[in-house]
């Protein structure tokens, strides 16, 4: 009887050993296959990891209404990208995995990096990439692209209430499929002197010309150095430290409102006497005027110029009218306009509406970021009214719309590389802003002639869309 107990214990021990062994094996497998998997895959020497990415069905990118701008099709050895919107969305999609949103959102699109879910993959098998939904309005983007045809320039449109990017168009464009058709076409594309690869909306640095007067006027008003009815005398010339700033003609006695409406250079250059370079730079910072666009796209930082030299007063006067050394992106001017439309608040626009798993689960959601206040509510409303006058009875009159009050500002920016750049920036309706549109066209002459009609057409189209919703 007594001898049976150790025997039973031995059986238990023998039975337990494989169970423990199996458990250890499970832990070992789970450790390497699941927990350490992302690290192993990230190892560039891991050929299997590259293979896995090649075999993963990549996610799509679509516009606000689900229209696909970047798709994927199966090939004999993996997946190829397709570009259903072609040249219309080329600066957003890019033309390979190292350009455009394909590059910056590759983790989301392939389900790698922080979008990797090893447990899910372990259970469900090979996964697909996630889908990216943009705030873009593809139809409006098409209109912008056609307006910019045979030009070099950019159009940006924003939803003034949500801060969503509706249009981000740059010209010239390219067809991603054609670029990759042959080595020859790729070389032609890369060496094109018009630089089609360049996303002018967020990378293009332009002298802002007279659209800068919106900023300069807001600074002087917000500092309480001038009032809406403060009067200036324009004799056609303003001289500062021997430098001459001129108007096409003498505008006579003008209020700041009239000066903006007729885009009087001498008045706004004179405003450089009403604030210091430090104050001016501080407002540029609080308006995020020089900040890159972000938006998951490669974008440029603007600059105002260096006010530390002996020529600082001249430079400030020139910068106040958007000349001098100031260089700013079209997107930054759109963002400035959005601030005026948003009663002085700083709103950081967004382009990615959401990132969703193949099953439709929302993994990330975008929204505009509020970043404090650039100027007071009163200053912004004053500037909005002044910009409305510029369209109703000034240089921006071509941007008038039937039944809607538009606030806008023209710009004709002199530059060392040929004819002036044509600018226009606007928002509407003035009292309940819904849409912001900014356009720049390189070497096209006066803003009122080329950029303003483009902005008008975009504004009309987008306001009609808003009313439909």
7, two tokens = 């025997």
CA distances from 93 to 164, 178, 186 (A): 18, 14, 17
Work out how close the CB of 366 gets to Zn ion at its nearest, in angstroms, rounded to a whole number. Answer: 43
Nearer Cβ to Zn ion, position 62 or 266? 266
Nearer Cβ to Zn ion, position 127 or 270? 270
Selected from 251, 258, 345, 434, the binder of Zn ion by CB under 5 A is: 251
Let me know the angle formed at the C-alpha of 125 by 354 and 114, rounded to the nearest 5 degrees. Answer: 40
Dist CA 240 CA 464 (whole Å): 47
Query: 114, 110, 166, 116: which is closest to 138 by C-alpha?
Result: 166
Nearer Cβ to Zn ion, position 266 or 448? 266
Single out the segment in contact with Zn ion by CB under 5 A; choices: 20-28, 76-84, 233-241, 343-351.
233-241
Single out the segment in contact with Zn ion by CB under 5 A; choices: 92-100, 140-148, 246-254, 441-449.
246-254
Verify binding: residue 245, Zn ion, rule CB under 5 A: no
Nearer Cβ to Zn ion, position 102 or 266? 266
Nearer Cβ to Zn ion, position 288 or 395? 395
Nearer Cβ to Zn ion, position 91 or 251? 251
Element (H, E) at 187: helix 183-190
Work out how close the CB of 101 gets to Zn ion at its nearest, in angstroms, rounded to a whole number. Answer: 44
3 state DSSP class of 132: strand
Work out how close the CB of 265 gets to Zn ion at its nearest, in angstroms, rounded to a whole number. Answer: 6
Contact 316, 307 (CB under 8 A): yes
CA pseudo-torsion sign 379, 385, 390, 394: negative
Dist CA 132 CA 116 (whole Å): 15
Nearer Cβ to Zn ion, position 155 or 413? 413
CA pseudo-torsion sign 189, 192, 194, 195: positive
3 state DSSP class of 292: coil
Work out how close the CB of 233 gets to Zn ion at its nearest, in angstroms, rounded to a whole number. Answer: 9
Work out how close the CB of 262 gets to Zn ion at its nearest, in angstroms, rounded to a whole number. Answer: 7
Single out the segment in contact with Zn ion by CB under 5 A; choices: 120-128, 154-162, 248-256, 389-397.
248-256
Work out how close the CB of 234 gets to Zn ion at its nearest, in angstroms, rounded to a whole number. Answer: 3
Work out how close the CB of 266 gets to Zn ion at its nearest, in angstroms, rounded to a whole number. Answer: 5
Single out the segment in contact with Zn ion by CB under 5 A; choices: 20-28, 242-250, 305-313, 447-455.
242-250
40's CB contacts (< 8 A; 6+ apart) are 32, 46, 49
Contact 409, 424 (CB under 8 A): yes
Single out the segment in contact with Zn ion by CB under 5 A; choices: 2-10, 193-201, 230-238, 446-454.
230-238
Work out how close the CB of 350 gets to Zn ion at its nearest, in angstroms, rounded to a whole number. Answer: 39
Nearer Cβ to Zn ion, position 264 or 368? 264
290's CB contacts (< 8 A; 6+ apart) are 284, 301, 302, 303, 304, 328, 332
Dist CA 161 CA 353 (whole Å): 15
Nearer Cβ to Zn ion, position 93 or 395? 395
Single out the segment in contact with Zn ion by CB under 5 A; choices: 170-178, 229-237, 280-288, 396-404.
229-237
Nearer Cβ to Zn ion, position 263 or 337? 263
Verify binding: residue 266, Zn ion, rule CB under 5 A: yes
200's CB contacts (< 8 A; 6+ apart) are 152, 153, 154, 170, 171, 330, 440
Single out the segment in contact with Zn ion by CB under 5 A; choices: 42-50, 66-74, 207-215, 249-257.
249-257
Work out how close the CB of 267 gets to Zn ion at its nearest, in angstroms, rounded to a whole number. Answer: 6
Selected from 72, 110, 247, 437, the binder of Zn ion by CB under 5 A is: 247
Nearer Cβ to Zn ion, position 246 or 298? 246
Verify binding: residue 264, Zn ion, rule CB under 5 A: yes
Give the total residue count for the chain: 469
Dist CA 145 CA 170 (whole Å): 7
Bond before 429 cis per omega within 30 degrees: yes
For 372-410, letters b (16+ CB in 10 Å) and e give ebbbeeebbbbbbebbbbbbbebbbbbbebeeebbbbbb
Single out the segment in contact with Zn ion by CB under 5 A; choices: 244-252, 308-316, 354-362, 441-449.
244-252
Find residue 253's DSSP bridge partners. Answer: 233
Work out how close the CB of 437 gets to Zn ion at its nearest, in angstroms, rounded to a whole number. Answer: 27
Instruction: Give the binding-site size for Zn ion (rule: CB under 5 A).
Output: 5
**Binding-site ranges for Zn ion (CB under 5 A):** 234, 247, 251, 264, 266
């Amino acid at each position: 009887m007594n001898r049976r107990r150790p025997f039973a214990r031995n059986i238990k021990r023998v039975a337990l050993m494989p169970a423990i062994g199996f458990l250890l094996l499970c832990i070992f497998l789970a450790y390497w296959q699941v927990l350490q998997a992302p690290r192993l895959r990230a190892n560039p020497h891991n050929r299997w990891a590259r293979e896995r990415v090649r075999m993963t069905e990549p996610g799509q990118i679509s516009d606000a209404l689900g229209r696909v701008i970047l798709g994927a099709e199966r090939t004999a050895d993996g997946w190829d990208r397709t570009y259903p919107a072609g040249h219309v969305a080329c600066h957003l999609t890019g033309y390979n995995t190292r350009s455009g949103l394909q590059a910056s959102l590759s983790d989301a699109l392939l389900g790698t990096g922080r979008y990797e879910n090893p447990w899910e993959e372990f259970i469900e098998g090979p996964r697909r990439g996630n889908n990216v939904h943009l705030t873009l309005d593809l139809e409006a983007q098409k209109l912008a692209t056609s307006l910019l045809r045979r030009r070099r320039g950019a159009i940006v449109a924003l939803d003034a209430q949500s801060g969503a990017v509706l249009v981000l168009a740059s010209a010239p464009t390219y067809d991603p499929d054609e670029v990759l058709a042959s080595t020859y076409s790729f070389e032609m594309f890369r060496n094109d002197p018009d630089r089609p690869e360049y996303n002018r909306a967020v990378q293009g640095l332009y002298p802002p010309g007279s659209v800068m007067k919106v900023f300069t006027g807001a600074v002087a008003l917000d500092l309480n150095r001038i009032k809406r009815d403060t009067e200036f005398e324009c004799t056609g010339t303003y001289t500062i430290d021997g430098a001459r700033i001129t108007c096409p003609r003498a505008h006579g006695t003008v209020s700041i409102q009239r000066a903006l409406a007729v885009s009087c250079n001498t008045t706004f250059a004179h405003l450089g006497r009403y604030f210091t370079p430090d104050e001016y730079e501080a407002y540029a910072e609080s308006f995020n005027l020089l900040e890159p666009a972000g938006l998951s796209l490669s974008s440029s930082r603007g600059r105002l110029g260096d006010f530390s030299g002996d020529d600082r007063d001249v430079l400030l006067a020139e910068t106040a009218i958007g000349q001098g050394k100031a260089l700013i992106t079209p997107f930054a001017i759109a963002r400035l306009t959005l601030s005026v439309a948003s009663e002085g608040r700083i709103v950081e626009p967004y382009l990615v509406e959401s990132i969703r798993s193949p099953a439709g689960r929302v993994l990330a959601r975008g929204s505009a970021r509020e970043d404090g206040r650039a100027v007071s509510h009163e200053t912004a409303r004053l500037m909005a009214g002044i910009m409305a006058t510029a369209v109703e009875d000034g240089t921006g009159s071509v941007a008038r719309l039937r039944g809607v009050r538009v606030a806008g500002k023209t710009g004709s920016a002199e530059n060392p590389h040929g004819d002036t750049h044509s600018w226009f920036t606007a928002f509407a309706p003035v009292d309940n802003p819904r849409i912001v549109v900014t356009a720049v066209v390189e070497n096209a002459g006066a803003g009122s002639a080329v950029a303003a009609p483009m902005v008008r057409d975009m504004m009309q189209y987008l306001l009609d869309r808003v009313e439909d919703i």
